[in-house]
């Protein structure tokens, strides 16, 4: 078939099937083949695991590859579809957005069949894979410019029942943070589209900065925990240890909790992720690039909260985010 997205194999084939999701060619590129693995053990939960939506977040693709090693043998029931790299052009360019069309794949859902490549990827996933599942794990990292506490995240969902189910699955990862993210603009995101279709969707932010082995172990353990909670595999829940802590907190972050730099400069963190801070505590300092030109600016906590993410590496521009804080849901 030419011109419509399709799989090169039948998803209802029992057992392990490998093939591709064909994203048709368009004005800006030839057809794109997304590798897809299907694990079909019959009745049970139906799960889609995607990674590599943003090409500079490599934790997800690595964890997805690790799943390929053990999940086929461990799976007891249900169907699991794994797409290790959703956005191959961005992954090859090690960029958040696609080098083909400049778009952020996570802002163009549900996509368009006749749009640029990113919209065609979103259209193919929305039409071919999403209807086949009840639950989606979308594996992200926070990117190389942030320190971030591994977190399973969701936006607030208007449907109270879906919100309850989503939070239950998000907490089952047992990551250091379960985050309800009150983002300022969620249009075109994969999760909001999937949730509008009644799916449980967890966006896992698996770390930031360099891809290190401890964080990968935490991420793999967390995904295994979530697979156990869904009943797809059997096993003991393991609480991952992150920075000597074995705990998991459910937090909520508001749009005003993304703290921004007032000027271009160098950000000096004065705290660490997961630190508890009080209103007025020093989170970091933005220093001017030319130390004699102007004075440094303190970034202080606007409220009692917990630090989830801190900018690291490279200078920051004016109005760029330098820290993400969040507050316990029961405060
Ligand atoms: Zn991402």
Predicted structure pTM score: 0.95
CA of residue 293 to ligand 1 center, whole Å:
36
Identify any residues that bridge with 24 across adjacent strands, giving them in sequence order: none
* Of residues 197, 183, 71, the one with CA closest to residue 129: 197
Query: From ligand 1's centre to the CA of 96, what distance in Å?
Result: 7
- pLDDT number for residue 51: 98
Alpha helix stretches (DSSP H) within 231-297:
none
pLDDT at position 1 = 44
Tell me how far the alpha carbon of residue 37 lies from the centroid of ligand 1, in angstroms.
Answer: 21
User: Any idea what DSSP says for residue 292?
Assistant: T
Spacing, Cα 55 to ligand 1 middle (Å): 8
CB 314 within 8 A of CB 151: no
- Give distance in angstroms: CA of 305 to centre of ligand 1: 24
CA of 312 to the centre of ligand 1 (A): 16
27/30 Cα distance (integer angstroms): 8
How many CA atoms does the CB half-sphere of 64 hold within 13 Å? 28
Task: Report the C-alpha gap between 231 and 258 in whole angstroms.
Answer: 36
From ligand 1's centre to the CA of 1, what distance in Å? 32
Do the strands 177-181 and 249-253 form a parallel or antiparallel pair, or are they unpaired? parallel
pLDDT for 88-111, tens place per residue? 999 999 999 999 999 999 999 999
Question: In angstroms, what is the span from residue 25 Cα to ligand 1's centroid?
Answer: 25
Say how many Å lie between the CA of residue 14 and the centre of ligand 1: 32
Where the chain has pLDDT below 50, the residues are 1, 331
- 270 C-alpha to center of ligand 1: Å? 25
Q: How far is the CA of 140 from the centre of ligand 1 (A)?
A: 4
- At residue 83, the pLDDT reads 98
* DSSP-derived pairing of the beta strands 200-205 and 135-140: parallel
Tell me the three state secondary structure of residue 220. Answer: helix
> How many CA atoms are closer than 13 Å to the CA of 191, on its beta-carbon side?
24
End-to-end CA distance of the chain: 55
Q: Give me the torsion for CA of 273, 223, 163, 311, rounded to 10°.
A: 20
Cα(291) to centroid of ligand 1, in Å? 34
Distance 189 CA to ligand 1 centre (A): 11
Partnered with residue 297 across adjacent β-strands are 286
pLDDT for position 2: 52
DSSP structure class, residue 264: S
Cα of 60 vs centre of ligand 1, distance in Å, is 9
pLDDT at 192: 95
Our measurement of the distance from residue 230's CA atom to the centroid of its chain's CA atoms, rounded to an integer in Å, reads 19
| 132-176 pLDDT tens trace | 999 999 999 988 899 999 999 999 999 999 999 999 999 999 999
The alpha-helical segments, DSSP class H, found in 138-254 are 160-172, 190-196, 213-230
Domains of the chain, start order: 6-251 (3.40.630.10), 257-328 (2.40.50.100)
């Amino acid at each position: 078939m030419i011109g419509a997205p399709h799989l090169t194999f039948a998803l209802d084939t029992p057992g392990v099937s490998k093939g591709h999701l064909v994203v048709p060619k368009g004005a800006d590129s030839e057809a794109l083949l997304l590798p897809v693995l299907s694990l079909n053990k019959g009745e049970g939960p139906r799960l889609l695991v995607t990674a590599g939506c943003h090409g500079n977040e490599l934790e997800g693709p690595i964890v997805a590859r690790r799943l390929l090693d053990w999940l086929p043998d461990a799976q007891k029931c249900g169907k699991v579809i794994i797409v290790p790299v959703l956005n191959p052009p961005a992954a090859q360019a090690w960029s958040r957005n696609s080098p083909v069309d400049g778009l952020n794949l996570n802002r163009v859902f549900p996509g368009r069949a006749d749009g640029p490549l990113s919209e065609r990827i979103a259209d193919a996933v929305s039409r071919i894979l999403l209807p086949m599942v009840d639950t989606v794990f979308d594996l992200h990292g926070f990117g190389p410019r942030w320190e971030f506490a591994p977190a399973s995240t969701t936006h607030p969902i208007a449907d109270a029942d879906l919100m309850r189910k989503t939070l239950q699955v998000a907490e089952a990862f047992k990551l250091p943070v379960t985050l309800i993210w009150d983002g300022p603009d969620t249009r075109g995101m994969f999760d909001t589209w999937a949730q509008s279709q009644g799916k449980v969707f967890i966006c896992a932010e698996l770390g930031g900065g360099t891809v290190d082995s401890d964080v990968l172990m935490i991420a793999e353990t967390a995904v295994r925990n979530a697979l156990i909670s869904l009943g797809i595999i059997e096993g003991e829940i393991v609480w991952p240890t992150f920075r000597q802590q074995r705990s998991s907190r459910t937090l909520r972050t508001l749009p005003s909790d993304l703290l921004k730099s007032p000027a271009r400069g160098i950000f000096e963190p004065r705290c660490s992720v997961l630190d508890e801070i009080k209103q007025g505590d020093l989170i970091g300092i933005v220093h001017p690039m030319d130390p004699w030109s102007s004075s440094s600016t303190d970034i202080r906590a606007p409220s009692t909260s917990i630090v989830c993410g801190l900018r690291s590496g490279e200078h920051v521009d004016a109005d760029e985010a330098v820290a993400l804080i969040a507050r316990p849901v029961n405060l």
